[in-house]
Amino acid sequence: MENEAPIADASLREQLCDESFLLPTGVPGVFGYGRPMVLALAAVRQAIVDAWGEPTMTVTEFPAVMSRATLTQAGYVASFPHLVGSIRALPAGAGEPEADGEAWEKALAATDYVLAPASCYPVYPLHSGKLPAAGALVQVTGNCFRHEPSEDPDRLVSFRQLEFVRIADRDQTTSWFEQGREKMRQIGVGLGFQATVDSASDPFFGPARRILSAMQKNDGSKFELLTRVGKRDDVAVASANSHLTHLTRKFGIHTADGEEATSACVAFGLERLVFALVTQHGTDLRDWPAGLGAANTAGTGRP
């Protein structure tokens, strides 16, 4: 999801903190979640899974931490070095540095671990080699990190994504991507949003492409579901991304016929969807659209 020009939306943040949706942790963009947020996230996630309706999907979850080698292989580190969170720790045999913090900081070294910037990256290397004839269809939920600190509550540093990923031959992926883009729009409608779907530049292809993004905006590789969050009208709460062979080539994924496979994903930003629901339907979960049954039957949602 691309980011708009930052406008610190203190009123939404204060409202979400006052109503115990968000629990401050002392650093920008990282929050704990109180009861209404916990209920809302679960309800929104389930509503999307139900609405997506592909029963043959492989269901997966991945943690916030992923393989540095995989993210580098995917091209993300080269394209977005400023967004990546890298984990440093004391190397084996480092001894015991002074406990004052400074010596400890200096003794830290890079590890095999980074923080996942999108939940779908760990899925691709699992499919290296030959796909079955029907290709792969994966639901993935993950915790993500992108180092873009902001006081705006809709620009979290640590957030959750629900993604649907298709890896298959070109025709299968293309038709899935077109249907997925429409399902993404329908899910926005089902959540009671005033929402639009618009094309955008694709983050999978890096800064050089970003420069060209104005020209390439309509190349059909990325579409975002835009709706009102706080004071902003067009915040991306979900995106449909066609990667063509960008990732399958890097991970050596082939179709059953031995052709180069293609991939696409549709990603939902769960926190942003909740913030959009709060903006457009209020903080009382009972007032939210009927599809969010779990939230509606869970009382006021207040702690």
Residues binding Zn ion (CB under 5 A): 118, 120, 163, 265, 267
Residues 168 and 130 sit within 8 Å (Cβ to Cβ): no
241 CB neighbour count, 10 Å cutoff: 28
As measured in angstroms, the least distance from the Cβ of 276 to Zn ion is 20
Structure tokens of 178? 């077109």
Between CA 81 and CA 86 the distance in angstroms is 10
Structure tokens of 218? 């309509």
**DSSP, res 72:** H
Nearer to Zn ion, 118 or 278 (CB): 118
Nearer to Zn ion, 43 or 120 (CB): 120
Nearer to Zn ion, 152 or 163 (CB): 163
Nearer to Zn ion, 220 or 293 (CB): 220
CA distances from 270 to 112, 263, 267, 275 (A): 28, 22, 9, 9
DSSP 237-281: EEEEEEEETHHHHHTTEE-TTSPBPEEEEEEEEHHHHHHHHHHHH
As measured in angstroms, the least distance from the Cβ of 184 to Zn ion is 12
Nearer to Zn ion, 265 or 298 (CB): 265
Nearer to Zn ion, 37 or 264 (CB): 264
As measured in angstroms, the least distance from the Cβ of 267 to Zn ion is 5
Q: Which residues lie below 8 Å from residue 195, measured CB to CB, with a gap of 6+?
A: 185, 188, 189, 225, 226, 227, 237
As measured in angstroms, the least distance from the Cβ of 263 to Zn ion is 9
As measured in angstroms, the least distance from the Cβ of 136 to Zn ion is 13
As measured in angstroms, the least distance from the Cβ of 68 to Zn ion is 18
Nearer to Zn ion, 131 or 267 (CB): 267
As measured in angstroms, the least distance from the Cβ of 71 to Zn ion is 13
Q: What is the dihedral of CA 129, 248, 180, 140, to 10 degrees?
A: 70
As measured in angstroms, the least distance from the Cβ of 241 to Zn ion is 6
Within 13 A of 96's CA, how many CA atoms are on the CB side? 1
Between CA 110 and CA 129 the distance in angstroms is 30
Between CA 47 and CA 66 the distance in angstroms is 27
Nearer to Zn ion, 44 or 120 (CB): 120
